[in-house]
């Protein structure tokens, strides 16, 4: 059993989508290759009852239901994930800090080993497009890995602008927006814009407030970032518009939280709130078109958790 985390401690894991499709998030989502809308999101629950977990939930967008998915290869939390229309790549994070990645195949709901990270890491974030995923390894590093889906390889990518951890990320087919999370002792408003085609990394419009332990999901035009923070967390969300590199307010979460995760498709993002005064099963459904967020009618997680990660089978308007 792992010790129960104190959310007031700055070096506890943040979550991460990241991405994307956490966040990473996740963190990035959208239409699949044939133009269809992504159908499912896979949520790795992370920390359950103060213990690292292998549990994964499969969230079905069309009917707002949540069921079981194939378990991870080992118990972990503080991971990150991204993928394309056929697979999600999960960086397992800790326990303990490791290089392990799982390849989750949506079609058969199976899990197998994927190319390892270049170095042991945790508390990272990830975003990508239909061909590659960019993983910020976290753990106070600037290191980024470029994971190529077709050949199951992982190599180096342009480093971030600052060493960080507990970040989040979302993007579309051309770029990923990375909220760096924690730099040294506190949260930050710094965001990096990673351009896939030329493997470059530059500055992007800052968030509205310093934060870390956030999560993010989006579609081909915008990314929704749950800012999160220390203590009891935050309900603040930012809407990042890719085309004009602008950042503004978005509909707030139903409760203040931190250390959540998010995934979605071209129409909505599902945010697992993480900690809302403690580990939580609450999920919010964010609708991009009308900038609304609700916990009503959204299937809850199978167990209260935090420090999780998520990926989806949407690929952000990419026709391949």
Domains of the chain (ranges, CATH numbers): 20-312 (2.120.10.80)
Is-contact 196 202, C-beta < 8 A?
no
- In the sheet that holds 87-91, the strands lie side by side as 80-83, 87-91, 101-105, 110-113
Cross-sheet strand order for the sheet of 40-44: 65-69, 56-60, 40-44, 309-312
* Cβ(224)–Cβ(170) below 8 Å: yes
With a pLDDT cut of 70, the percent of the chain lying above it is: 85
Comparing 9-18, 41-50, 185-194, the range with the smallest average pLDDT is 9-18
308 pLDDT more than 50: yes
What pLDDT does 124 receive? 95
Taking residue 159's Cβ as centre, other Cβ atoms within 10 Å add up to 14
Report the C-alpha gap between 48 and 289 in whole angstroms: 33
pLDDT digits 0-9 by tens, 28-62: 333 333 335 789 999 999 999 989 999 999 999 99
Predicted local confidence at residue 11, as pLDDT: 39
At residue 57, the 3 state secondary structure works out as: strand
For the chain, percent of residues with pLDDT exceeding 90 = 77
Q: Which helix (H) or strand (E) holds 56?
A: strand 56-60
- Average pLDDT on 145-174 reads 97
Handedness of CA 150, 177, 237, 292 (dihedral sign): negative
Residue 114, CA atoms < 13 Å, CB-side half-sphere: 33
| Least confident segment among 25-39, 82-96, 140-154, 282-296 | 25-39
């Amino acid at each position: 059993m792992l010790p129960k985390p104190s959310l007031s401690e700055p070096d506890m894991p943040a979550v991460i989508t990241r991405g994307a499709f956490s966040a990473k998030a996740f963190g990035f989502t959208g239409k699949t290759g044939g133009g269809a809308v992504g159908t499912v999101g896979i949520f790795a629950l992370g920390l359950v009852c103060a213990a690292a977990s292998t549990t994964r939930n499969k969230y079905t967008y069309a009917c707002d239901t949540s069921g079981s998915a194939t378990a991870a290869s080992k118990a972990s939390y503080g991971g990150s994930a991204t993928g394309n229309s056929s697979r999600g790549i999960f960086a397992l994070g800790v326990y303990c800090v490791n290089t392990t990645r799982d390849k989750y195949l949506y079609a058969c709901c199976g899990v197998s080993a994927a190319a390892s990270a270049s170095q042991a890491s945790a508390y990272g974030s990830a975003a990508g497009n239909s061909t590659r995923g960019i993983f910020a390894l976290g753990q106070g590093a600037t290191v980024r890995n470029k994971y190529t889906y077709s050949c199951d390889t992982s190599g180096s990518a342009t480093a971030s602008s600052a060493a960080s951890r507990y970040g989040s990320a979302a993007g579309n087919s051309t770029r990923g927006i990375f909220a760096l999370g924690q730099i040294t002792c506190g949260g930050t408003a710094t965001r990096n814009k990673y351009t896939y085609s030329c493997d470059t990394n530059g500055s992007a419009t800052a968030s509205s407030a310093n934060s870390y332990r956030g999560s993010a999901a989006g579609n081909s035009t915008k990314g929704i970032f749950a800012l999160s923070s220390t203590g009891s967390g935050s309900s603040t969300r930012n809407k990042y518009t890719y085309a004009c590199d602008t950042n503004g307010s978005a509909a707030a979460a139903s409760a203040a939280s931190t250390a959540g995760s998010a995934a979605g498709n071209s129409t909505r993002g599902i945010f697992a709130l993480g900690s809302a005064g403690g580990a939580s099963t609450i999920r919010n459904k964010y609708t991009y078109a009308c900038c609304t967020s609700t916990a009503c009618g959204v299937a809850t997680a199978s167990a209260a958790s935090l420090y999780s990660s998520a990926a989806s089978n949407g690929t952000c308007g990419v026709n391949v």
